[in-house]
């Protein structure tokens, strides 16, 4: 027989499209539809309201009016409730209600969705583009829907979430907020009918996917290729579905090769906690997805669903208690596996160290209290890079493993491993895996499996990888098609072995498999992409930084008040504040990649939070700032002695008429800090038109496209400062230079009225320091990065994250630059020294066309000194300005005997025992010894990061030995200070 493979494959595609898929459903009967558009502000209402079970006194009873297939519904962001009534006719086949709310053929999870309820309020199934059915009879039928005569009433809560990331992508849109009244309704009800579902056609389609779709990935030099080709052609020749399936049975029964790759397939839905929709919509997305997961679990007992983010479980618990109880039962069974143990899947670069600790402590505490379960795997598939603090944080919190895959998105270099030991800045290692399918939302296609096997870079030593399957966001998670394919790929010649099981089982296997042969990657996991997220929506960065600083201060003062004066510690208020901060560290909120709606609400939330935290500051007294646990009072500043010169006896700055610092001289040594001919303090504007992912990406070409600031400049000495104002277009930039009397430090405050679109603003600080490396603060330490572009990987780090400071040094001179609220930064070699350039603002137009328009204030300082001086200046610049603050005797200090160590945080223990927790760490990457010096009577023990006693088999360095702290490089120690039992009984 002559066979032409390409013709067979083309025929297969056409037969599937035109002859098989249309036969999956046979229409049986119409249904009657009526609709209620939620009135008022159009915001969602509880199902009890829409179903007429419990209508609030101040709201109208829902009134359903006739609605027909073909009618439009909306408006964008509105909710329409559909009431669907019908009677199921007799049928030998299972009957399904099939609904098409107006699906696009693409962007699953990115547009309209629905949740189907019984009249009693129980959600039974969610509706999505590739999941638009509710089974009414036959195996897996939704329970308690049909009356004895076959009649039924169901309700659909249809959400008109607009398509924002469509084809082509990244198109500017105003639909990141609710539209005006003239905007057309975005969706049309395309289908609503009762159909007979053909299990045989469904099965044949999956058989053909496991054979015909596998064929292009088989080796044409091997018999298997030709046997599969022959079987597919025989199936296409068959005259009925059963014969077609029989023709494929033999090739589907052939087992996988002995050395076939082993893939652990885990059901999953990556649900962004806010992104192209507001937070309130995520609550509904999670409920819809879990409803589908439960329905699919009822019909297929073989699979496991992994779900991260305590916050998302907590939303379902609050909104749908009855659904949540069903979820809890599946967790107990081990079929829904809570993973990650964090409050949300946060940004993994920008949050402060204590924030990451709290992401874990709040998340794991919720998991433990709610499910009696803690996760052993950090689950961050989608965050935009991972700081080198993570391995230590994760291992000291009790995790064994780490999962991501985001580095597959790198735009420059290819990460060399999928399974490796990741070594953090302190030397701690954690077994880490990147699913080689390069996605966290696989559909279990032959092409994905083949890509994963080919792509997997650790095949020499490992046979295992993970596959996370299921539509994310609003896509409803795994569907029955995906599951049916996993069954066919379980043990199939030419494919990897696909096994449905929990991710922990995979990690345990691979840990045993690799043992001490695990390859090691040291340092941060830098994502060579999305570099603009360190800057976009700067109010998120400022809100986060200031909330962290306020929490640090409030928790310390409240601890002192509790210990010294027995003042009640505001546990509940602080918990609520922390959960707000943690939620907003989600990897599309803090990075600034969400729609206008999300960021508008977040700005309001940060403002309310700041006021709330200020109200929690105990006591009142002299005005001041809390720095390093001592109160600093307002100091007199240094007045300019002549126009353009600031001099405090330690440092002398000469500012030119263009407003740039021409010289900055350390008077003790006579050393000049500014590059000869340099312009320290120059604001640099660049044209910023990204290739794609506008709010996310800062492309290379941007830094090659400077825009000259041509507007008028004024510079004047006012009081104790020199103020420089310049205009450019509609934007205004005001730079204020000032000095204090006590330090070789120049303060640079930049106020911007930002009216640009698609431009980037940097502050250039060129310093006369010759160095190959710069040091950037990160969580509990710092990281060195090159200032050169020698290799592809060096060059790719052309914009990086800096926490509060950057430091560069050559023998005889160190210069630090500290900031109060920026994260994006580049430090590069230039003739005569090094240019340190924090990034202040961007103005991408997608997804928020008005990103960052308005007024912003940034504070920086440039100082001569070492890393310790720089860190102290960062503490000072970031200390909250509080109107009223009492003097506080330190609760604890460190008598440092050698090296460098600090107390980073103090608080009362999470268990509400009244014990004090102190988080201490080494700061320089060396060794330190110190003696804790307590300001109150207590015994000191060391705990893990979650304040639990160290287990007997603890395999990480212990700091507390015989009352002294012995710290290794960047080592973190959590100390529990237990006061003696109260004498009153």
Q: Which is nearer to Zn ion, 345 or 915 (CB)?
A: 345
CB of 270 to Zn ion, least distance (A): 6
Q: Which is nearer to Zn ion, 272 or 694 (CB)?
A: 272
Other C-beta atoms lying within 10 Å of the C-beta of residue 372: 10
The piece of 23-31, 375-383, 503-511, 870-878 that touches Zn ion (CB under 5 A) is 375-383
Active site residue 753: no
CB of 459 to Zn ion, least distance (A): 28
Distance from C-alpha of 910 to C-alpha of 943, rounded to nearest angstrom: 12
The piece of 35-43, 382-390, 543-551, 656-664 that touches Zn ion (CB under 5 A) is 382-390
Kindly state the helix (H) or strand (E) to which residue 939 belongs, with its residue range.
Answer: strand 939-943
Beta bridge partners of 983: none
Distance from C-alpha of 939 to C-alpha of 915, rounded to nearest angstrom: 10
CB of 356 to Zn ion, least distance (A): 17
Q: Which residue is nearest to Zn ion (CB)?
A: 382
CB of 468 to Zn ion, least distance (A): 12
Beta bridge partners of 626: 631
Residue 848 interacting with Zn ion (CB under 5 A) = no
372: left (phi over 0), alpha (psi -120 to 50) or beta: left
Cα distances (angstroms) measured from residue 832 to each of 123, 408, 670, 798, 829: 67, 37, 17, 20, 8
* # binding residues, Zn ion (CB under 5 A): 2
Distance from C-alpha of 307 to C-alpha of 269, rounded to nearest angstrom: 7
Q: Is the dihedral of CA 858, 859, 864, 867 positive or negative?
A: negative
Q: Which residues contact 892 (CB under 8 A, 6 or more apart)?
A: 903, 906, 916, 918, 932, 933, 934, 935, 977
Q: Which is nearer to Zn ion, 278 or 644 (CB)?
A: 278
Give DSSP secondary structure letters for 244-313: HHHHHHHHHHSPPPTT--EEEEEEE----SSSSS-HHHHHHHHHHHHHHHHHHHHH-TT--EEE--HHHH
Q: Which is nearer to Zn ion, 161 or 802 (CB)?
A: 161
* CB distance 842 to 698 below 8 Å: yes
Q: Residue for token digits 């009081």?
A: 719
Residue 382 interacting with Zn ion (CB under 5 A) = yes
b vs e for 512-536, b when ≥16 Cβ sit within 10 Å of the residue's Cβ? eebeeebeebeebbbbbbbbbbbbb
Angle, in degrees to the nearest 10, between helices 538-565 and 353-371 = 70
The piece of 77-85, 377-385, 779-787, 844-852 that touches Zn ion (CB under 5 A) is 377-385
Q: Which is nearer to Zn ion, 274 or 864 (CB)?
A: 274
CB of 282 to Zn ion, least distance (A): 11
Kindly state the helix (H) or strand (E) to which residue 630 belongs, with its residue range.
Answer: strand 630-632
CB of 40 to Zn ion, least distance (A): 31
- For residue 771, which phi and psi values (nearest 5 degrees)? -155, 150
Enter the tokens of residue 453.
Answer: 């096997």
CA atoms within 13 A on the CB side of 721: 15
Classify residue 411 by burial, with Cβ atoms within 10 Å: 0-12, 13-18, 19+.
Answer: middle
Residue 473 interacting with Zn ion (CB under 5 A) = no
Give the chain's length. Answer: 985
CB of 591 to Zn ion, least distance (A): 10
Q: Which is nearer to Zn ion, 338 or 472 (CB)?
A: 472
CB of 432 to Zn ion, least distance (A): 18
Q: Tell me, residue by residue from 255 to 294, as one string, x for binding to Zn ion by CB under 5 A and - for no binding.
A: -----------------x----------------------
Q: Which is nearer to Zn ion, 272 or 852 (CB)?
A: 272
Angle, in degrees to the nearest 10, between helices 571-584 and 596-615 = 160
CB of 165 to Zn ion, least distance (A): 12
Q: Which is nearer to Zn ion, 308 or 605 (CB)?
A: 308
Q: Is the dihedral of CA 598, 599, 601, 607 positive or negative?
A: positive
CB of 153 to Zn ion, least distance (A): 37
Enter the tokens of residue 524.
Answer: 């941060």
Rounded (10°) CA dihedral 127, 130, 136, 139: -130
Q: Which is nearer to Zn ion, 518 or 537 (CB)?
A: 537
CB of 588 to Zn ion, least distance (A): 6
Catalytic residue among 382, 694, 852, 869: 382
Q: Which of 327, 308, 306 is nearest to 316 (CA)?
A: 327
Q: Which is nearer to Zn ion, 269 or 492 (CB)?
A: 269
* CB distance 524 to 385 below 8 Å: yes
Distance from C-alpha of 359 to C-alpha of 337, rounded to nearest angstrom: 18
Q: Which is nearer to Zn ion, 405 or 839 (CB)?
A: 405
> By three-state DSSP, how is residue 225 classified?
helix
Beta bridge partners of 813: 810
Q: Which residues contact 613 (CB under 8 A, 6 or more apart)?
A: 547, 550, 551, 554, 577
Cα distances (angstroms) measured from residue 527 to each of 531, 773, 790: 8, 19, 18
The piece of 180-188, 207-215, 307-315, 378-386 that touches Zn ion (CB under 5 A) is 378-386
Other C-beta atoms lying within 10 Å of the C-beta of residue 26: 14
For residue 375, give the DSSP letter. -
The piece of 30-38, 250-258, 380-388, 516-524 that touches Zn ion (CB under 5 A) is 380-388
CB of 605 to Zn ion, least distance (A): 20
Q: Which is nearer to Zn ion, 272 or 915 (CB)?
A: 272
Enter the tokens of residue 45.
Answer: 């209402």
Residues 129-148 that bind Zn ion (CB under 5 A): none
Q: Which is nearer to Zn ion, 109 or 391 (CB)?
A: 109
CB of 163 to Zn ion, least distance (A): 18
The residue ranges of DSSP E strands in 408-560, in sequence order, are 419-423, 429-433, 464-469, 497-500, 520-522
Residues assigned a catalytic role: 382
Residues of this chain that bind Zn ion (CB under 5 A) = 272, 382
């Amino acid at each position: 027989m002559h066979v032409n493979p390409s013709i067979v494959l083309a025929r297969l595609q056409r037969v599937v499209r035109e002859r098989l898929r249309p036969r999956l459903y046979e229409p049986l009967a119409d249904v009657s539809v009526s609709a209620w558009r939620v009135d008022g502000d159009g915001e969602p209402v509880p199902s009890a309201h829409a179903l007429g079970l419990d209508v609030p006194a101040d709201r109208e009873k829902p009134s359903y009016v006739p609605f027909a297939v073909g009618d439009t519904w909306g408006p964008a962001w509105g909710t329409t409730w559909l009431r669907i009534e019908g009677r199921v006719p007799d049928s030998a086949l299972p009957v399904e209600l099939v609904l098409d709310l107006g699906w696009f053929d693409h962007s699953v999870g990115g547009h309209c969705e629905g949740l189907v309820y019984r009249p009693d309020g129980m959600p039974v199934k969610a509706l999505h583009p590739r999941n638009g059915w509710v089974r009414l009879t036959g195996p897996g039928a939704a329970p308690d829907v049909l009356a004895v005569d076959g009649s039924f009433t169901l309700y659909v809560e249809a959400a008109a979430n607009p398509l924002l990331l469509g084809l082509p992508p990244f198109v500017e849109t105003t639909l990141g907020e609710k539209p005006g009244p003239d905007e057309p309704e975005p969706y049309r009800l395309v289908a609503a009918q009762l159909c007979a579902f053909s299990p045989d056609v469904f099965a044949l389609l999956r058989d053909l996917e496991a054979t015909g779709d596998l064929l292009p990935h088989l080796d044409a030099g091997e018999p298997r290729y030709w046997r599969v080709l022959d079987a597919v052609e025989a199936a296409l020749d068959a005259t009925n579905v059963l014969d077609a399936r029989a023709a494929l049975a033999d090739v589907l029964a052939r087992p996988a090769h002995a050395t076939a790759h082993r893939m652990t397939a885990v059901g999953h839905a990556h649900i962004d906690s806010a992104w192209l929709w507001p937070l309130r919509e995520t609550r509904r997305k999670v409920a819809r997805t879990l409803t589908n997961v439960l329905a699919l679990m009822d019909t297929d007992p073989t699979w496991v669903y992994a779900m991260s983010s305590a916050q998302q479980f907590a939303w379902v618990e609050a909104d749908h208690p009855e659904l949540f109880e069903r979820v809890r039962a599946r967790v107990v069974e081990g079929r829904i596996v809570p993973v990650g143990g964090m409050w949300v899947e946060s940004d993994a670069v920008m949050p402060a160290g204590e924030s990451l600790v709290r992401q874990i402590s709040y998340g794991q505490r919720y998991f433990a209290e709610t499910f009696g379960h803690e996760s052993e795997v950090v689950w961050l598939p989608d965050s935009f890079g991972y700081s080198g603090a993570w391995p230590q944080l994760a291992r000291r919190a009790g995790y064994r493993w780490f999962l991501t895959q985001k580095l597959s998105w790198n735009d420059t270099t290819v990460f060399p491993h999928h399974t490796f030991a990741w070594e953090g800045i302190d030397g701690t290692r954690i077994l880490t895996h990147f699913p080689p399918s390069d996605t966290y939302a696989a559909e279990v296609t032959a092409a994905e499996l083949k890509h994963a096997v080919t792509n997997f870079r650790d095949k020499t030593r490992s046979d295992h990888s993970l596959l996370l399957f299921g539509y994310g966001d609003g896509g409803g998670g795994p569907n029955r098609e995906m599951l049916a394919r996993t069954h066919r790929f379980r043990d199939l010649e030419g494919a990897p072995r696909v096994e449905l099981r929990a991710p922990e089982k995979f990690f345990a296997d691979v840990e045993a498999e690799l043992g001490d042969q695990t390859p090691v990657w040291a340092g941060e996991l830098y994502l060579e992409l999305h570099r603009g997220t360190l800057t976009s929506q700067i109010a998120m960065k400022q809100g986060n930084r200031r909330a962290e600083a306020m929490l640090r201060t409030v928790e310390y003062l409240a601890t002192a008040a509790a210990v010294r004066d027995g003042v009640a510690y505001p546990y509940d208020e602080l918990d609520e504040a922390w959960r707000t901060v943690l939620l907003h560290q989600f990897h599309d909120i803090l990075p600034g990649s969400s729609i206008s709606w999300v960021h508008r609400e977040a700005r309001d939330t940060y403002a309310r939070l700041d006021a709330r935290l200020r109200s929690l500051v105990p006591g009142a007294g002299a005005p001041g700032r809390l720095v390093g646990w001592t109160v600093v009072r307002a100091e007199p500043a240094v007045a300019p002695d002549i126009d353009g010169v600031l001099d405090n006896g330690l440092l002398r700055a000469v500012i030119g008429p263009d407003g740039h610092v021409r010289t900055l001289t350390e008077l003790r040594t006579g050393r000049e800090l500014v590059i000869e001919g340099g312009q320290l303090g120059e604001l640099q504007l660049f044209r910023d038109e990204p290739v794609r992912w506008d709010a996310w990406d800062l492309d290379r070409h941007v830094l090659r496209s400077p825009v000259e600031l041509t507007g008028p400049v004024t510079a004047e000495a006012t009081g104790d400062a020199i103020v420089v104002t310049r205009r450019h277009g509609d934007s205004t930039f005001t730079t204020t230079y000032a000095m204090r009397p006590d330090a070789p430090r120049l303060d640079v405050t930049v106020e911007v009225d930002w009216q640009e679109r698609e431009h980037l603003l940097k502050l250039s600080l060129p310093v006369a320091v010759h160095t190959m490396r710069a040091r950037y603060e990160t969580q509990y330490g710092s990281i060195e990065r090159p200032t050169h572009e020698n290799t592809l990987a060096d060059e790719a780090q052309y914009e990086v994250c800096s926490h509060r400071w950057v430091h560069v040094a050559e023998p005889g001179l160190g210069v630090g630059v500290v900031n109060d609220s920026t994260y994006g930064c580049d430090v590069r070699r230039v003739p005569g020294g090094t240019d340190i350039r924090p990034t202040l603002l961007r103005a991408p137009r997608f997804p928020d066309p008005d990103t960052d328009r308005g007024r912003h204030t940034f504070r920086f300082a440039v100082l001569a000194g070492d890393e310790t001086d720089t860190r102290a200046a960062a503490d000072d610049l970031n200390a909250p300005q509080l109107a009223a603050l009492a003097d506080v005797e330190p609760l604890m200090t460190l008598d440092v005997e050698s090296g460098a160590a600090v107390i980073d945080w103090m608080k009362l223990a999470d268990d509400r025992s009244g014990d004090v927790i102190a988080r201490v760490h080494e700061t320089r990457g060396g060794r330190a010894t110190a003696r804790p010096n307590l300001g109150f009577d207590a015994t000191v023990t060391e705990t893990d990061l979650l304040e639990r006693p160290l287990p007997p088999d603890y395999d990480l360095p212990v700091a507390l030995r015989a009352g002294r702290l012995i710290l290794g490089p960047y080592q973190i120690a959590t100390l529990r200070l237990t006061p003696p039992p109260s004498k009153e009984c």
